[in-house]
């Protein structure tokens, strides 16, 4: 699906921080939000070259972008990423919590406390830290938070991805709780749950055979690509399109799971 010709007027001029935006789904989101006229805080950590290249491409197309570097597992660094984005654009209207990952495939039987901490810090702590830092800015004009969960939050995760799936279920419940707390301030909180999307995520964690096995369970008959996820985020970011949608998760998975 392409959103390049789509125009959503109420996103123009909004300042949006997208975490984990140097690659995969986050990079597609940064490109799409910038194309809508939003100013994009492009958060990255280790992928310096990819982040700089993407920022260059967005700027060359006339978009506004601020690069912010932070280790997502460190609350103070995420706070600074939020503050630096707000300082760059003079406001913050939206936060997309997208940074995340499996860390490694580890079965529960073999799991260490270190692995548990690494997965929960990356997928859970990062969302709370970035959101906590963003809330005072979002309260100024109203705004949105969109979290990225996963199909694994509902199906328990594929082989060795159990604690990853659980961390995303945690994010799904954080989404509901934050949605209730924040809607009185005009801040809408929702989530997107990707299915199997071909990004660096699966290059790292899945073999071709594992992806083939997943493909066989997708009614639409193909794996997803990052751009397949973009429309759901644009929709949830737009007050005009989704202003009465609060605390929900949109599943983007080619029919692989229909909860």
Pairing of strands 94-97, 15-18: parallel
Quote the DSSP letter at residue 123.
I
Chain residue at closest Cβ approach to ligand NAD: 24
Compute CA 83 distance to the chain's CA centroid, rounded to the nearest angstrom.
18
In terms of CB distance, is 36 or 167 closer to ligand NAD? 167
Rounded to the nearest whole angstrom, what is the least distance from the CB of residue 24 to ligand NAD in the complex?
A: 2
Residue 191's DSSP bridge partners are 147, 249
**Binding positions for ligand NAD, rule: CB under 6 A:** 20, 22-26, 44-45, 47, 71-73, 98-101, 122, 148, 150, 194, 196-197, 199-202
Closest of 3, 242, 13 to residue 146, by C-alpha: 242
Q: For residues 186 and 210, which CB has a smaller minimum distance to ligand NAD in the complex?
A: 210
- Smallest distance, ligand NAD to C-beta of residue 45, A: 3
d(CA 35, CA 43): 17
**Shortest Cβ distance from residue 206 to ligand NAD (Å)?**
8
* Residue 116 among the catalytic residues: no
Alpha carbon dihedral 50, 3, 173, 159, in 10-degree steps, equals -60
Instruction: Please state, in angstroms and as integers, the Cα–Cα distance from residue 56 to each residue in 13, 145, 162, following that order.
Output: 19, 26, 37
Q: Which is nearer to ligand NAD, 138 or 196 (CB)?
A: 196
CB < 8 Å & 24+ apart, contacts of 173-179: 174/124, 174/127, 174/128, 174/131, 174/147, 175/147, 175/149, 175/247, 175/249, 176/247, 178/131, 178/145, 179/246, 179/247
The residue (of 183 and 211) whose beta carbon lies closer to ligand NAD is 211
The CB-of-139 to ligand NAD minimum distance in angstroms stands at: 25
CB of 120 to ligand NAD, least distance (A): 12
Catalytic residue among 164, 205, 233, 244: 164
Q: Which is nearer to ligand NAD, 93 or 251 (CB)?
A: 251
CB 158 within 8 A of CB 214: yes
The catalytic residues are 164
């Amino acid at each position: 699906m392409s959103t390049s010709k789509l125009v959503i007027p109420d996103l123009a001029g909004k300042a949006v921080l997208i975490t984990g935006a140097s690659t995969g789904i986050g990079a597609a989101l940064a490109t799409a939000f910038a194309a809508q006229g939003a100013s994009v805080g492009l958060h990255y950590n280790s992928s310096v070259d990819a982040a700089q290249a993407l920022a260059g491409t967005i700027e060359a197309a006339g978009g506004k972008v601020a690069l912010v570097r932070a280790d997502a597992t460190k609350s103070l660094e995420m706070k600074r990423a939020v503050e630096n984005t707000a300082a760059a654009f003079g406001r913050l209207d939206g936060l997309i919590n997208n940074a995340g990952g499996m860390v490694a495939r580890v079965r529960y039987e073999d799991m260490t406390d270190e692995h548990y901490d690494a997965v929960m810090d990356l997928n859970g702590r990062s969302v709370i830290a970035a959101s906590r830092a963003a809330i005072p800015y979002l309260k100024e004009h109203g705004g949105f938070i969109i979290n990225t969960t996963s199909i694994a939050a509902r199906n328990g995760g594929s082989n060795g991805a159990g604690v990853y799936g659980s961390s995303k279920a945690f994010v799904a419940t954080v989404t509901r709780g934050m949605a209730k707390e924040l809607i009185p301030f005009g801040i809408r909180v929702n989530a997107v749950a990707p299915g199997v999307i071909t990004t660096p995520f699966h290059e790292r964690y899945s073999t071709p055979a594992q992806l083939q096995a997943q493909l066989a369970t997708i009614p639409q008959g193909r794996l997803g690509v990052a751009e397949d996820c973009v429309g759901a985020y644009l929709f949830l970011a737009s007050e005009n399109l989704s202003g009465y949608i609060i605390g929900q998760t949109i599943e983007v998975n080619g029919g692989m799971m229909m909860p």
